[in-house]
């Protein structure tokens, strides 16, 4: 079933913008227009289109420069860009467009069938990428919850051993002390290993998340970064509290402090903000 998308069309020739827009609107897509790369970049940041179809040669800021900027920006880097051009059609030009971050390349004069076919392919590819990330996030969330259940089970077993130790009168002081120290080591290692496992998998799914976040907000503490990981997966305060063995109230306070540190307005959602990184 066809799902309408938001598509930004960029060309300094208004006739071309109108022509491509008419083709896409006929397929029920929402179309935004811009006549140079600078304006296109600003629109992309505020509107977050599903696809950008952009001319190479434009005044103020050309399509290649704009594509590079889009790919450097956390909020726009995943938007697929199709470059269109009438003159830059050599193999080296194609390589330049791909190196800048575009995902496809259309030569002028433009044909309606090609615009529709390329747009559909790129939108499907982008949706597949998003769905793949969503699925991995779901797997990661379930893995975290499963690991937490394991921690709870081991913790209950440790608690039982501690009760047996306290009730057993035949254990000498030295043995009891050694057992207690080993139990503490098991608890610490269990939590550390679980967090390391989670962090390793998270970084495979979102390899640039922590570096991008810390680059923009250098004062974030390790605990706040850890909280950001969980929030990036859209976990609730209750779920995070269960995983970290903390009170929900403590998680809510930590979220509030993180919001303040990130400088978010009241109407900005923390999870949605973190998903941009």
pLDDT digits (tens, 9 = 90+) for 25-71: 998 999 999 999 999 999 999 998 999 999 999 988 999 999 999 99
**So what's the pLDDT on residue 1?**
47
Rounded to two decimals, the pTM is: 0.55
Arithmetic mean of pLDDT, 78-100: 83
Contact in structure between 186 and 153 (CB atoms under 8 Å): no
Token representation of residue 211: 């570096």
**So what's the pLDDT on residue 207?**
78
Measured between alpha carbons, how far is 277 from 87 in angstroms, rounded to an integer?
A: 36
* CA 92 distance to own-chain centroid: 32
Contact in structure between 60 and 77 (CB atoms under 8 Å): no
Domains delineated in the chain: 6-110 (3.40.50.2300), 134-274 (no CATH)
pLDDT value at 4 more than 80: yes
pLDDT, one tens digit per residue, over 214-229 is: 888 888 888 888 888 8
pLDDT, one tens digit per residue, over 206-265 is: 878 888 888 888 888 888 888 888 888 778 888 788 777 778 888 889 989 998 888 888
Any idea what DSSP says for residue 110? P
Measured between alpha carbons, how far is 132 from 134 in angstroms, rounded to an integer?
A: 5
Arithmetic mean of pLDDT, 132-139: 66
State the Rg of the chain over Cα: 26
Measured between alpha carbons, how far is 76 from 157 in angstroms, rounded to an integer?
A: 48
Q: How confident is the model at residue 76 (pLDDT cuts 50, 70, 90)?
A: confident
**Higher pLDDT, residue 173 or 85:** 85
Token representation of residue 238: 């209750």
Helices 222-232 and 237-244 pack at an angle, to 10 degrees, of: 130
Token representation of residue 273: 């903000």
Beta-bridge partner residues of 26: none
The 10 Å Cβ neighbour count of residue 202 is: 21
Task: Assign 268 to helix, strand or coil.
Answer: coil
Helices 237-244 and 112-167 pack at an angle, to 10 degrees, of: 40
């Amino acid at each position: 079933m066809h799902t309408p998308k938001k598509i930004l069309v960029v060309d300094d020739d208004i006739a071309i913008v109108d022509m491509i827009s008419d083709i896409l609107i006929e397929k029920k897509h929402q179309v935004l227009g811009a006549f140079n790369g600078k304006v296109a970049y600003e629109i992309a940041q505020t509107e977050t289109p599903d696809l950008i179809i952009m001319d190479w040669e434009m005044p103020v800021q050309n399509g290649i420069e704009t594509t590079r900027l889009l790919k450097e920006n956390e909020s726009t880097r995943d938007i697929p860009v199709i470059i269109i051009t009438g003159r830059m059609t050599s193999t080296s030009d194609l390589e330049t467009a791909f190196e800048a971050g575009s995902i496809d390349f259309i030569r002028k004069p433009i044909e309606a069938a090609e615009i529709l076919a390329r747009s559909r392919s790129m939108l499907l590819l982008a949706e597949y990428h998003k769905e793949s990330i969503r699925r991995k996030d779901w797997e990661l969330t379930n893995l975290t919850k499963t690991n937490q259940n394991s921690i709870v089970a081991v913790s209950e077993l440790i608690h039982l051993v501690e009760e047996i130790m306290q009730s057993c009168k035949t254990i000498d002081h030295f043995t009891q002390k050694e057992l207690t120290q080993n139990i503490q080591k098991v608890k610490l290692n269990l939590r550390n290993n679980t967090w390391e496992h989670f962090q390793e998998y998270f970084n495979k799914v979102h390899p640039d998340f922590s570096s991008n976040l810390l680059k923009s907000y250098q004062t974030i503490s390790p605990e706040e970064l850890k909280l950001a990981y969980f929030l990036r997966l859209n976990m609730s305060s209750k779920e995070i509290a269960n995983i970290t063995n903390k009170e929900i109230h403590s998680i809510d306070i930590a979220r509030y402090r993180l919001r303040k540190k990130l400088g978010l307005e009241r109407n900005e959602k923390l999870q949605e903000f973190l998903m941009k990184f």
